[in-house]
Amino acid sequence: MSFFVGIDVSSSDFKVRILDERGNEPVKKLRVLNDKPGCEQIARYLSDACAKEKIDRLVIGLEATSVYSWPLQMFLAEDHSLAPLQPKIYSFNPKVVANFKKAYVDLPKNDWIDAWVIAERLRFGRLPEGSQVDFRYLPLQRLTRFRCHLIDMISREKNYFLTNLFLKFSTLAQGAVFSNTFGATSESLTLEFFSPEEVAARPLDELIDFLMEKGRSHFEDPEAKARELKEAARKAHRLRGSLLQPINLILATSIETIHTLEKQVKKIDKAIEAEIRHFPNTLITIPGIGPVLSAGIIAEIGDIRRFPNEGALAKFIGLTWRSHQSGNFTADDTPLTRTGNTYLRSYIIQAANLVRQKEPEYKAFYQRKFSESKTHHHRRALVLTARKLVRMVDALLRSNQIYMPHGNRGNVS
């Protein structure tokens, strides 16, 4: 006999409802605070209910609502009083619960109903592959997701910097002089010169010396670059003097913020490198996939054995397509399901873009799909290449073998 437990989670409390195999509610619902005593109270509540009704199987479900459910999930998985029941804990994508709820057209919207819907979804069965929590991978997952957070912050800060740089030195922001606006020479120019007028007025020899010093003699023709810089300064928009002072302060502060965030990324990379050593990592042998990207993929997949096959893994990622057919009509354009793990989908697509540049088999596949696409050629070809890469990732993680190029696979003894 089984109990199905639905828990609605918020930052302040938990709301718990239990259903039996017939859909009846054998015990009263429970509300507790989202803290350690609350977790202990839920464990006692479940243990007592199972003992009273002679239940030997416990299935628990929650929505994946940020990190607010993590302490409860870990507590219930490790609680000794629940151990004989071997609780299975599922963390649902909110879309899964929301779509299931649509079948009950007359349900109101409140937290108690949401807890009931989660329990009913567990009772229904056919649970999504990979929705069961594996706590071993959570430290690595937190690190890799935080790295994504830092990269997003850097991207936003750079975009904000460029908008202010356009006000000060429009042609420099447009990339008219330097290929990398955030290179050492470009940043030094931004910080050390008050305005484009000052650059335009500076003698050519002094600009050449500046470029040689800041560019560390990397410019092939520093004189030509200096002339190009003076011309860009001459063409740049002009600001009122009262605006330049605050704009320069903003730019200096923004550059400092970017550098600080980049230093934090390096620290996190070292922590990821240390944490990934606890797990087999043969993905790093695939051309183009480095230690950080492979760590992100492993952190989100967890134990590959929780997926029965690579098709289930692709569904978990969200790299599947729904057919659209009615009568004699079949749609040519079928969009991605996009109900899977967004972090993992991003990692796999990034990896596919790198692998197709280095591995001939994937390069040829990408080019073939690119030529076959009628619209959005690169995006379609890249997503299809990512789906192909899922098969490789699944195979390597299951076999724990290193990647072998296509021509050498038959030579392995």
Query: Using an 8 Å Cβ cutoff, are 122 and 59 in contact?
Result: yes
How many residues are present in the chain?
A: 413
Neighbour tally for 176: CB within 10 Å: 16
pLDDT at res. 206:
93
- pLDDT band for position 136 (cuts 50, 70, 90): confident
| Domain boundary assignment for the chain | 2-133, 142-271, 281-399
Residue 159: burial class (beta carbons within 10 Å; 0-12, 13-18, 19+): exposed
Please compute the mean of the pLDDT values over residues 192-205 and round it to a whole number. Answer: 93
Residue 359 has pLDDT above 60, yes or no: yes
Between 298 and 322, the higher pLDDT residue: 298
Neighbour tally for 294: CB within 10 Å: 23
pLDDT at res. 201:
93
Residue 329 has pLDDT above 90, yes or no: no
Please compute the mean of the pLDDT values over residues 179-204 and round it to a whole number. Answer: 93
Neighbour tally for 10: CB within 10 Å: 12
Please compute the mean of the pLDDT values over residues 188-207 and round it to a whole number. Answer: 93
Percentage of the chain modeled with pLDDT above 90 = 68
Instruction: State the residue for tokens 């918020």.
Output: 10
pLDDT at res. 24:
93
pLDDT at res. 14:
95
Distance, in Å, from the CA atom of 393 to the CA atom of 389, rounded to the nearest integer, reads 6
Per-residue pLDDT tens digits for 369-386: 999 888 888 999 999 999
pLDDT at res. 394:
95
pLDDT at res. 412:
45
Residue 10 has pLDDT above 60, yes or no: yes
pLDDT at res. 413:
40
* CATH annotation of 142-271: 1.10.287
Q: Which amino acid is at 274?
A: A
pLDDT at res. 242:
86
Which pair of tokens denotes residue 375? 């619209």
**CATH class of this structure's domain 2-133:** alpha beta
Residue 244 has pLDDT above 60, yes or no: yes
pLDDT at res. 285:
94
Q: pTM of the prediction?
A: 0.81
